[in-house]
């Protein structure tokens, strides 16, 4: 296998963070792009907005602001649309009961997913061809789709710089509950899965790891970490950094504070504190790779349940189809008789009250129904 080849995988659910990376990125070059990773409602929009203020090209086809994100989502509309289609194809739509289940084995190898990949490749090539400076994008779904994106980076010979933003799982759960009526337990599972995948995708070495709440207490430290990760592609002045902070960090938009509530899983809280330690100290905690690998393998157990649930759903769907076919065969002739009687009752001659009418109607019914039931 060549140094930059993608190893053949037998399952999307097996990855050891300390083993050989799925993709060996080439040394820094002019092919760099900025990629923001993180859970929904964790400050990915704030971070992408900050990067754009410093000089990163986020594109022009961006999702419009809303009441839930007054300063904008800073999310590429076409990338978002392709991501949504992928999740529909693997039956993991947002808001569905299956959203927090693992994706199917080798999902990214499916022909329809590969067609989506081709669209993503076209988008990246078009955006990089248009941009006059470092281009970047963000979407909270990116990390969960990391096998597909790592293939794209490899095929396009790109050198991604990952910016990972983290937020306390309690605040994320509260925010998703208010916006999407998502249950707190589902939000925690999604939080954990997203950050496990983000750490794997970044190969354990993101350009910068940022904690959302530290923007409001240690903004200068976080801005410095982001600036270091951008160098030498983008080198803003101190005045430009301060102006970017003034534009993006708004205390009035911080609606939920961290909480040590017992509602949070101790496992989820432990993983958060390891990521927070990384953001504060700048060094990856030694425990994080081991815990990431253990959690990843534990999460695989849900994959077996997902496979079982899919098989049961397929059986149920086939039974419903058979039931609909049987009802059509049984009730089709009956409704024809009833319809004939109604037409005769409303005819100018008046209703037919003789038994012979019913016999004529029965004789006029095709025999296909009887054959279909045999």
Question: CB under 8 Å to 312, separation ≥6 — which residues?
Answer: none
Token couple for 226: 């982001």
What does the pLDDT read at residue 15?
34
Q: What is the pLDDT of residue 271?
A: 96
Beta pairing partners, 163: 36, 208
Distance from the first to the final alpha carbon of the chain = 59
**Residues 271 and 327 both lie in one domain:** no
What is the model's pLDDT at position 341? Answer: 74
Tokens of 332: 């089709």
Q: Which two tokens stand for residue 195?
A: 């950050």
Tokens 């024809």 belong to residue = 336
- CATH number, domain with residue 214: 3.40.50.300
Who's near 276: CB < 8 A, 6+ residues apart? Answer: 166, 211
Q: What is the pLDDT of residue 349?
A: 57
As averages over each run of 10 residues, the pLDDT of the chain (374 residues) reads 34 35 42 95 95 94 90 95 96 84 92 97 95 95 96 95 96 92 91 95 88 94 95 91 92 69 84 96 94 85 62 68 70 70 66 48 46 38
pLDDT of residue 250: 83
Contact between 47 and 38 (Cβ < 8 Å)? yes
pLDDT of the residue at 196: 95
| Cβ count within 10 A of residue 132 | 6
> In the chain, how long is the greatest CA-to-CA distance?
98
Same domain, 232 and 328: no
Domain count, the chain: 2
The encoded tokens of residue 60 equal 């022009």
12 belongs to a structural domain: no
Taken in order 90, 93, 97, 102, is the CA torsion positive or negative?
A: positive
The residue assigned the tokens 């102006």 is: 243
Count of other CB atoms within 10 angstroms of residue 24: 14
pLDDT at 306: 60
> Does residue 142 sit in the same domain as residue 277?
yes
- The pLDDT value recorded for residue 321 is 73
Q: Does residue 19 lie in a domain region?
A: no
Predicted structure pTM score: 0.74
| Alpha-carbon distances, residue 261 vs 63, 136, 153, 254 (angstroms) | 33, 36, 40, 18
Contact residues for 144 (Cβ-Cβ < 8 A; gap 6+): 103, 193, 194, 197
- Do the domain assignments include residue 302? no
Q: Could you tell me the strand order of the sheet in which 208-211 lies?
A: 136-138, 32-37, 159-166, 208-211
Q: In terms of domains, do 79 and 213 share one?
A: yes
Examine the domain organization and report whether 264 and 343 are in the same domain: no
| Same-domain check for residues 317 and 280 | no
351 and 220 part of one domain? no
Query: What pLDDT is stored for residue 1 in this prediction?
Result: 37
Mapped onto helix, strand or coil, the DSSP state of residue 28 is: coil
Q: Clarify whether residues 137 and 275 are in a common domain.
A: yes
Indicate whether 99 belongs to any domain: yes
* Co-location of 147 and 251 in the same domain: yes
150 and 233 part of one domain: yes
What range defines the domain where residue 80 resides?
32-285
Provide CB contacts within 8 A for 348, sequence distance 6+: none
- With vertex at residue 100, the alpha carbon angle to CA 97 and CA 106, rounded to the nearest 5 degrees, is 115
């Amino acid at each position: 296998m060549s140094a930059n080849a993608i190893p053949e995988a037998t399952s999307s659910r097996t990855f050891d963070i300390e083993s050989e990376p799925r993709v060996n990125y080439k040394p820094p070059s002019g092919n760099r792009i900025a990629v923001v990773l993180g859970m929904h409602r964790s400050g990915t929009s704030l971070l992408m907005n900050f990067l754009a203020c410093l000089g990163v090209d986020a594109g022009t086809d961006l999702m419009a602001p809303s009441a839930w994100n007054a300063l904008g989502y800073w999310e590429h509309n076409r990338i978002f649309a392709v991501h949504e289609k992928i999740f529909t194809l693997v039956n993991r739509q947002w808001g569905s009961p299956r959203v927090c289940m693992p994706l199917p084995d080798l999902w990214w190898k499916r022909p329809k997913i590969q067609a989506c990949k081709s669209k993503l490749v076209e988008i990246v090539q078009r955006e990089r061809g248009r941009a006059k400076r470092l281009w970047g994008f963000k979407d909270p779904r990116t990390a969960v789709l990391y096998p597909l994106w790592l293939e794209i980076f490899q095929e396009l010979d790109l050198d991604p710089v990952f910016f990972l933003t983290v937020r306390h799982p309690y605040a994320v759960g509260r925010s998703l509950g208010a916006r999407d009526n998502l249950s707190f337990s589902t939000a925690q599972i999604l939080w954990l899965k997203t950050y496990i995948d983000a750490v794997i995708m970044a190969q354990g070495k993101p350009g910068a790891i940022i904690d959302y709440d530290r923007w409001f207490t240690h903004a200068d430290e976080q801005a410095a970490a982001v600036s270091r990760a951008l160098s030498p592609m983008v080198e803003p002045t101190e005045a430009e950094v301060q102006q970017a902070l003034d534009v993006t960090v708004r205390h009035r938009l911080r609606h939920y504070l961290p909480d040590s509530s017992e509602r949070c899983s101790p496992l989820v809280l432990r993983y958060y504190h390891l990521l927070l330690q990384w953001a504060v100290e700048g060094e990856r905690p030694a425990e994080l790779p081991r815990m990431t690998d253990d959690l990843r393998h534990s999460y695989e157990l849900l994959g077996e349940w997902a496979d079982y649930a899919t098989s049961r759903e397929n059986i149920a769907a086939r039974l419903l189809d058979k039931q609909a076919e049987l009802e059509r065969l049984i009730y089709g002739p009956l409704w024809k008789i009833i319809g004939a009687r109604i037409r005769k009752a409303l005819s100018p001659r008046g209703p037919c009250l003789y038994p012979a009418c019913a016999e004529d109607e029965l004789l006029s019914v095709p025999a296909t129904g009887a054959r279909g039931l045999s």
